């Protein structure tokens, strides 16, 4: 069996991790991991030879079962609450010992890799997995080492992943269920057990970086995509699911830095955390997402997909297992990429939102205070009909466009963003990829060609030459002209038949912003609070 082995004797000994009598496979190549997965009955192959697996009970992350060890390092740093739930060091040790005992005597798969493409911030990660395909995922998603670099590898963090373990009497350990994902910042361990969903591994290390980088390195971690133009200008795209982050950052005229997780360093370098992409594939087509579609080939890993009956052809429209069907692949499966995955000179930041209420402008420029406010808010809308019980648009907020992965208070990240964008002279734009002419069910979705035209005009500097007007409720600065976009749609009020209905709906959304922001008010600066929309009728009339 072909494999890459680390040569010194210590590499065959995992006893320092509490793993006894294990048969350890070190840094197997993708072909070998795929072969083992199929031979063990853990996966199948598509007609073009791509590996497919089913992650079992969990087809997504389990946020309620995510914990951070509360100790001297974290107790005064972490924003404790619903997102960041504490676990005692003693209970972590008990659970770790249980998982180590469970894995002892078994086959395990070890992967040495690193995260953070900028060499100055590189962090070595050793991952030990129970399943070969979990290791395959790590090979795709973390940054890969040359064979010579594996010699003498020393990890800074370790991930231990045991999907087959389930805690008995979980309450006695201070956890909710038999599955869990725990970060221990003092011991530098990410412990994942009871769930085979691979995203728990990726998001565990991402969450760790979200505390380490701002606290220790003065680096802003960002849940975003990024690309760079021929002149070296970097653009950053924040956005929740369904807002167009992947689509809009994939630009044939610009090189992709990465599609999901980046850092913004003090020298204005934007660097990718990862070595791959983890994309949704529900309803995937070559026409709509050609880059992702063509990246699904040997070396990629499909999760929870369904084959067309009697074939090994993937039916991307089939959500019978989950809506969250996924593929991971090395970033090299995308043609137009930045190598290595970092660039300097950030010029523009795009906050993408799908406003199903139809009240936000399709493009607007933000002040530093507004940028911080909208960054903390992380707004988009769930569209009626997409979930049971939703009959009209519902506002959805996720702080910093990635609240489930942010250990620090959102204002920490927002104030870092404000300072960095001010120091670097970066422009921040709010792009609404949702509705115009009325809410969902009345208006229409903003055409992708118009959104692309707006972003192109910004990147080419064209919107620096036009006049702006201010939105009377949200205070956003809306351009009066944009090439290849109908001017009447640039102010959303113009697209509604009844102006009073527009104002009423806009005030309704503004109230949702205020209600969501209540939990941040005590930590937010005056500048950030000045970025909030107006909700007082008299103030609004003064701005009309």
Looking at 11, 25, 245, 255, which residue is catalytic?
245
For this structure, is 241 an active site residue? yes
For this structure, is 203 an active site residue? yes
For this structure, is 260 an active site residue? yes
For this structure, is 186 an active site residue? no
Strands (E), 440-516: 444-445, 468-470, 477-479
Burial 393-417 (b: 16+ CB within 10 A, else e): bbbbbbbbbbbebbbbbbbbbbbbb
Q: Is the peptide bond before 340 cis (omega within 30 degrees of 0)?
A: yes
CA distances to 459, 485, 496 from 488, rounded to whole Å, are: 22, 9, 11
User: Residue 235 in contact with residue 262, Cβ under 8 Å?
Assistant: no
For this structure, is 445 an active site residue? no
CB proximity list for 522: less than 8 A, separation 6 or greater: none
Nearest C-alpha neighbor of 241 from the set 367, 386, 429: 386
Residue 382, strand partner residues: 394
For this structure, is 61 an active site residue? yes
Q: How many CB atoms lie within 10 A of CB 542?
A: 10
Looking at 15, 241, 444, 487, which residue is catalytic?
241
Nearest C-alpha neighbor of 256 from the set 446, 460, 117: 117
Looking at 262, 326, 333, 420, which residue is catalytic?
326
Query: Any idea what DSSP says for residue 41?
Result: T
For this structure, is 223 an active site residue? yes
Find the largest Cα–Cα distance for the chain.
76
CA distances to 88, 136, 331 from 150, rounded to whole Å, are: 34, 17, 21
User: Residue 38 in contact with residue 13, Cβ under 8 Å?
Assistant: no
CA dihedral 35, 40, 42, 45 (to 10 degrees): 40
Looking at 223, 262, 347, 348, which residue is catalytic?
223
Looking at 260, 451, 471, 512, which residue is catalytic?
260
Q: Is 371 exposed, middle or buried (0-12, 13-18, 19+ CB in 10 A)?
A: buried
Tracing tokens 């991991």 back to the chain, one arrives at: 33
Give me the count of residues in the chain. 544
Query: Helix, strand, coil: what percent of the chain each, to 5?
Result: 35, 25, 45
Looking at 139, 203, 365, 382, which residue is catalytic?
203
User: Residue 478 in contact with residue 449, Cβ under 8 Å?
Assistant: no
Looking at 61, 202, 382, 471, which residue is catalytic?
61
Phi, psi of 157 (to 5 degrees): -125, 155
Looking at 50, 246, 247, 451, which residue is catalytic?
246
Phi, psi of 117 (to 5 degrees): -70, -25
Q: Is 489 helix (H, G, I), strand (E, B) or coil?
A: helix
- Token code pair at residue 66: 């995510």
CA angle 478, 479, 483 (to 5 degrees): 140
User: Residue 190 in contact with residue 183, Cβ under 8 Å?
Assistant: yes
For this structure, is 245 an active site residue? yes
Annotated catalytic residues are 61, 203, 223, 241, 245-246, 260, 326
């Amino acid at each position: 069996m072909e494999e890459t082995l680390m040569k010194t004797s210590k590499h065959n000994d995992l006893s320092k991790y509490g793993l006894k009598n294990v048969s350890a496979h070190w840094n197997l190549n993708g072909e070998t991991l795929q072969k083992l997965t199929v031979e063990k009955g853990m996966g199948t192959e598509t007609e073009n030879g791509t590996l497919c697996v089913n992650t079992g009970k969990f087809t997504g992350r389990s946020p309620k079962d995510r914990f951070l060890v509360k100790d001297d390092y974290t107790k005064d740093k972490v924003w404790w609450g619903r997102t960041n739930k504490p676990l005692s060091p003693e209970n972590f040790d008990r659970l770790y010992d249980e998982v180590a005992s469970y894995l002892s005597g078994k086959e395990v798969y070890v992967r040495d890799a690193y995260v953070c493409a900028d060499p100055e911030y590189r962090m070595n990660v050793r991952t030990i997995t129970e399943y070969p395909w979990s290791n395959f995922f790590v090979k795709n998603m973390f940054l890969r080492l040359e064979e010579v670099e594996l010699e003498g590898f020393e990890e800074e963090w370790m991930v231990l992943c045991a999907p087959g373990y389930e805690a008995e009497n979980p309450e006695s350990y201070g956890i909710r269920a038999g599955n869990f994902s725990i970060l221990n910042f003092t011991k530098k361990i990410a412990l994942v057990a009871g769930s085979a969903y691979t995203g728990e591994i990726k998001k565990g290390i991402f969450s760790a970086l979200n505390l380490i980088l701002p606290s220790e390195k003065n680096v802003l971690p960002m849940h975003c995509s990024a690309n760079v133009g021929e002149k070296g200008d970097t653009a950053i795209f924040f956005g929740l699911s369904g807002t167009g982050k992947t689509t809009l950052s994939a630009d044939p005229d610009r090189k992709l830095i990465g599609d999901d997780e980046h850092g913004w360093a003090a020298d204005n370098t934007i660097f990718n955390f990862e070595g791959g992409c983890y994309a949704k594939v529900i309803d995937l087509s070559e026409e709509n997402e050609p880059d992702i579609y063509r990246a699904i080939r040997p070396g990629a890993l499909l999760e929870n997909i369904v084959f067309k009956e009697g074939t090994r052809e993937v039916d991307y429209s089939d959500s019978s297992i989950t809506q969250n069907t996924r593929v991971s692949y090395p970033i090299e499966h995308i043609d137009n990429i930045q190598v290595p995955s970092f660039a300097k000179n950030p010029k523009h930041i795009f906050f993408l939102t799908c406003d199903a209420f139809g009240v936000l402008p399709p493009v607007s420029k933000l002040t530093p205070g507004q940028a911080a406010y909208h960054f903390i808010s992380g707004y988009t809308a769930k569209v009626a009909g997409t979930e049971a019980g939703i009959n009209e648009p519902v506002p959805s907020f996720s702080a910093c466009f990635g609240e489930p992965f942010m250990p620090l208070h959102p204002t920490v990240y927002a104030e870092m963003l404000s300072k960095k964008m001010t120091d670097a002279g970066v422009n921040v734009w709010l792009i609404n990829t949702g509705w115009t002419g009325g809410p969902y069910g009345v208006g229409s979705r903003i055409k992708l060609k118009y959104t692309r035209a707006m972003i192109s005009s910004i990147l080419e500097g064209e919107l620096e030459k036009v006049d702006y007007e201010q939105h009377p409720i949200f205070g956003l600065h809306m351009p009066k002209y944009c090439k290849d976009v109908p001017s009447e749609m640039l102010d959303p009020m113009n697209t509604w038949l009844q102006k009073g209905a527009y104002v009423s709906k806009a005030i309704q959304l503004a109230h949702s912003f205020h209600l969501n922001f209540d939990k941040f008010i005590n930590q937010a600066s005056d500048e950030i609070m000045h970025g909030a929309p107006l909700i007082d009728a008299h103030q609004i009339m003064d701005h009309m």
